[in-house]
Amino acid sequence: LMQNRPLLISSLLEHAAAFHGDTEIVTRTVEGPIHRYTYAALARRSKRLANALTRLGVTSGTRIGTLAWNTHRHLELYFGVSGMGAVLHTVNPRLFAEQIEYIVNHAEDQYLFFDSSFLDLVERLAPSLPKVKGFILLADRARMPASGIPNLLCYEDLLAGESEAFDWPSFDENTASSLCYTSGTTGNPKGVLYSHRSTVLHSFAICQRDGFNLGAEDSVLVVVPLFHANGWGMPYGAAMCGAKLVFPGPAMDGKSIYELLRDEQCSFSLAVPTVWLGFFQYIDGTSGLQPATEIKLERLVIGGSAAPQAMIRRFAEQFGAYVLHAWGMTEMSPLGTSGRPLRKHAGLPLDQRIALQSKQGRVIYGVELKITDDSGAELPHDGIAFGDIKVRGPWIAAGYFRSEGGAVMDADGWFATGDVGTLDGDGYLQITDRSKDVIKSGGEWISSIDLENAAIGHPAVQEAAVIGVHHDKWQERPLLIVVRKPDATLDRDTLLEYLRPLVAKWWLPDDVVFVTELPHTATGKLQKSKLREQFKEYRLPTD
Contacts 24+ apart (CB under 8 A), 11-14: 11/168, 11/200, 12/79, 12/200, 12/203, 12/236, 12/239, 12/240, 13/39, 13/42, 13/43, 13/46, 13/79, 13/83, 13/168, 13/239, 14/43, 14/168
Nearer to a second copy (CB atom), residue 412 or residue 493: 412
Cβ distance to a second copy smaller for residue 193 or 482: 193
**Site membership for a second copy, residue 17 (CB under 8 A):** no
Residues 207-236 that bind a second copy (CB under 8 A): 207-210, 213-219
238, 271 Cβ separation under 8 angstroms: no
Residue 3 in contact with a second copy, rule: CB under 8 A: yes
Residue choice 12, 226, 252, 465 for contact with a second copy (CB under 8 A):
12
Which one of 34, 133, 185, 204 is in contact with a second copy (CB under 8 A)?
204
Stretch that binds a second copy, among 101-109, 206-214, 350-358, 450-458 (CB under 8 A): 206-214
Parallel, antiparallel or unpaired: strands 475-484 and 461-471: antiparallel
Query: Which contacts qualify for 400-409: CB closer than 8 Å, 24 or more apart?
Result: 400/190, 400/191, 400/192, 401/106, 401/107, 401/179, 401/190, 401/191, 401/192, 401/193, 402/106, 402/191, 404/188, 404/190, 404/191, 405/190, 408/331
- Residue 385 contacts a second copy per CB under 8 A: no
Q: Which is nearer to a second copy, 197 or 484 (CB)?
A: 197
Task: Rule CB under 8 A: say whether 5 interacts with a second copy.
Answer: yes
Residue 330 Cβ vs a second copy, minimum distance, rounded to whole Å = 12
Residue 2 is a binding residue for a second copy (CB under 8 A): yes
Shortest Å, Cβ 362 to a second copy: 6
Which residues lie below 8 Å from residue 382, measured CB to CB, with a gap of 6+? 422, 423, 424, 425
Instruction: Provide long-range contacts, Cβ within 8 A and 24+ apart, for 455-458.
Output: 455/480, 455/482, 455/495, 455/499, 457/498, 457/502, 458/490, 458/495, 458/498
Is the bond preceding 291 in cis, omega lying within 30 degrees of 0? Answer: no
Work out whether 409 is an interface residue with a second copy (CB under 8 A): yes
User: How many Å apart are CA 121 and CA 102, to the nearest integer?
Assistant: 14
Is 398 a residue that touches a second copy (CB under 8 A)? yes
Least separation, in Å, of the C-beta of 208 and a second copy? Answer: 4
- Span from 198-206, 271-279, 447-455, 521-529 in contact with a second copy (CB under 8 A): 198-206
d(CA 487, CA 297): 39
Site string for a second copy, 287-326 (x = CB under 8 A): ----------------------------------------
Closest CA to 80 of 180, 9, 30, 156: 9
Q: Which residue from 27, 198, 269, 448 is in contact with a second copy, where contact means CB under 8 A?
A: 198
If binding means CB under 8 A, how many residues of this protein chain bind a second copy?
A: 65
195 binds a second copy (CB under 8 A): yes
Give the residue among 55, 34, 24 at the shortest CA–CA distance from 158. Answer: 55
- The catalytic site residues sit at 182, 331, 440, 445
Sign (positive or negative) of CA dihedral 471, 473, 478, 482: negative
Interaction pattern, residues 321-350, with a second copy; x per rule: CB under 8 A: ------------x------xxxx--x----
- Pick between residue 215 and residue 418 the one whose CB is nearest to a second copy: 215
User: Which residues contact residue 351 at a Cβ distance below 8 angstroms, ignoring those fewer than 6 apart?
Assistant: none
DSSP 378: B
Q: Write down the least CB distance from residue 453 to a second copy, Å.
A: 26
| Stretch 76-115: interaction string toward a second copy, x if CB under 8 A | ----------------------------------------
Binding to a second copy (CB under 8 A): which residues in 502-541?
Answer: none
Rounded to whole angstroms, the Cα distance separating 24 from 243 reads: 8
Distance CA 500, CA 507 (A): 9
Nearest to a second copy of 321, 451 (CB atom): 321
Site for a second copy contains 238 (CB under 8 A): no
Q: Is 411 in the site for a second copy (CB under 8 A)?
A: no
Quick one: which of 399, 403, 309 has its CA closest to 357?
A: 309
- Min dist CB 400 to a second copy, Å, is 10
Site for a second copy in 356-375 (CB under 8 A): 362-363, 365, 368
Report the residue from 276, 279, 322, 395 that binds a second copy according to the rule CB under 8 A.
395
CB of 425 to a second copy, least distance (A): 7
| Closest CA relative to residue 194, chosen from 115, 67, 90 | 90
Stretch that binds a second copy, among 70-78, 142-150, 195-203, 382-390 (CB under 8 A): 195-203
Could you give phi then psi for residue 473, rounded to 5 degrees? Answer: -85, -45
Nearer to a second copy, 2 or 165 (CB): 2
| Residues 247, 85: Cα–Cα separation, whole Å | 25
| DSSP letter for each residue of 272-312 | -HHHHHHHHHHHHH-TT--HHHH----EEEE-SSPPPHHHH
Which one-letter amino acid corresponds to residue 159?
L
| Minimum distance from residue 329 beta carbon to a second copy (Å) | 14
Q: In whole angstroms, how close is the CB of 87 to a second copy at the nearest point?
A: 11
The site map against a second copy for 445-484 (x = CB under 8 A) is ----------------------------------------
Amino acid at 118: F
35 pairs with which residues across the strands? 27
| Site residues for a second copy per CB under 8 A | 1-5, 7, 11-12, 14-15, 18-20, 22-23, 174, 176, 193-195, 197-198, 201, 204-205, 207-210, 213-219, 240-242, 244, 333, 340-343, 346, 362-363, 365, 368, 381, 392-399, 409, 413, 415, 425-427
